[in-house]
Amino acid sequence: MASLPSIRPVCSALLLWASMFGCSQSSDVITSNLNACLIVTEAEVEFAIGTPVTPGLRKNDRQCLYQAKRNPEETVMVELNPGADGDKKSLFQDQRSKAGHQAVSGVGDGAFTLRSPIGGIQLTFLKADALVTLSLTSPKQANPQAAVTNLAKVAATRLGAPIRTAPATAAEPGITATPSQWAGEWYGCMPVGMMYGKGHLTLNERGTWTMTTAVVMPGTIIADRGRWEAESFQEILHGTYKVAGSDRFSTTGILSVTWDKLAKNQGPTKFDPLLWQSFTAIPRKVAVKRLPAVEPTLIGTWEGSSKFVDRQEEFVWTITAANVSEFFRATSQTGRIEQEQDRFRLVVPQSKTPPLSIRVLAQDKMELTDTSGTVSQWNRNEKLLSRC
């Protein structure tokens, strides 16, 4: 699958800084228990960008993501690299002097900004033994330079004094031997690329688990003469199709799926109902440029499935005559639970994919770490799904 060209500059910039400034050991200023979500608060982000945001989502110790509540595509990413050694400081100074990098005064021990052609801006600053990058993605922000600079000043001030956090064992208790503490239904928002997926996890006292994660990809579609292409913010899907009557068609290529038409106002039969309801409760707007007409037979809402050795995938696809495509994908997995010290491992039988890791922090709070090391927060309240 190909990524949209419009998101590549930001991704490349993030990868550049991740490779330039790797993690090193922290010193007295940045304690080993500090994570990126402690650099700035939710209220400070809201004040800087002028709009309410969701609580910081800790992707891992080094990254924390804030999203605007009114527009989830408006984001602030905080990246922390503690222990910036002499070589990295020299590299920082070299980068600050390069073309396209604008020096910023009055922030930490040195700072500069780097703009993205799609409206984003990054500010990187040094403070004592830490290097921090604040990335603001907001095409509608009137003065992104001022917004990210004001936020960086707050962050640098906070890093100017020792930050003390409680020991991990006290602040984040491990799993107890009581199954009632972790068994039951859990809900979470999981980062999927630059977007968020919705998650529904069931933990069983018998040592089994089932998890469904779902994403929606709103975008545009071209479908005519047996070929189709759907373009969204995340991906471009394409292939061939074959019509089999007014209520069924099939696709091949990236999606080898048989699609059955849903009646008007009929919900999908297999898609996780809680996740589906949370998607449909949030209106989405898609700007459509002038495109070739969509074959009339394909207009409507369709559902389909694909089964793999280690997972089951359910799809719902809405296609309109105005070239609007909404593609929903839900992936379900089941497996066994294995305890490993203060964590649980979610193992998928017959799969080469590394296990997921969960840690129960309280009776209604849990952290899940995926195979890439990204950490997401989960709780027992299904209303959390509306924030994804």
DSSP annotation string for 170-194: HHS----S-GGGT-EEEEEEEEETT
Domain's final residue, options 168, 189, 217: 168
Residue 288 lies in a domain: no
What does the pLDDT read at residue 243? 96
Is 286 inside any structural domain?
A: no
With a CB cutoff of 8 Å and minimum separation 6, the contacts of 308 are none
Say if residue 146 is in the same domain as residue 205: no
pLDDT tens readout for residues 222-237: 999 999 999 987 788 8
Q: Note whether 32 and 158 are same-domain residues.
A: yes
Question: Comparing 241 with 344, which gets the higher pLDDT?
Answer: 241
Confidence of residue 318 (pLDDT cuts 50, 70, 90): very high
Q: Tens digit of pLDDT for each residue in 348-387? A: 887 777 889 998 888 889 999 987 788 889 999 998 898 8
Question: Does 328 score more than 90 pLDDT?
Answer: yes
When pLDDT is cut at 50, 70 and 90, the band that residue 210 belongs to is: very high
> How many whole angstroms separate alpha carbon 90 and alpha carbon 87?
5
What is the predicted pLDDT for the residue at 298? 96
User: With bands split at pLDDT 50, 70 and 90, how would you rate the model's confidence at 86?
Assistant: low
On the question of pLDDT at 258 being above 50, the answer is: yes
Residue 37 has pLDDT above 60, yes or no: yes
Is residue 319 within 8 Å of 303, Cβ to Cβ? no
Residue 367 lies in a domain: yes
174 domain residue, yes or no: no
- The answer to whether residue 186 scores a pLDDT higher than 90 is yes
Among residues 133, 168, 203, which one ends one of the domains? 168
Q: Do both 150 and 186 map to the same domain?
A: no
Q: Give the domain-ending residue among 168, 202, 225.
A: 168
Same domain, 51 and 184: no
Residue 180 pLDDT level (bands cut at 50, 70, 90)? low
DSSP-assigned letters across all residues of 123-156: EEEEETTEEEEEEEE-TT-S-HHHHHHHHHHHHH
- Alpha-carbon distance of 238 to 217, in angstroms, equals 14
Do 34 and 27 contact (CB within 8 A), yes or no? no
Domain identity same for 137 and 259: no
Q: How many domains does the chain have?
A: 2
| Strand partners for 227 | 224, 240
Structural domain boundaries enclosing 108? 5-168
- How far is Cα 189 from Cα 67, in angstroms, rounded to an integer? 12
CATH of the domain at 47: 3.40.1000
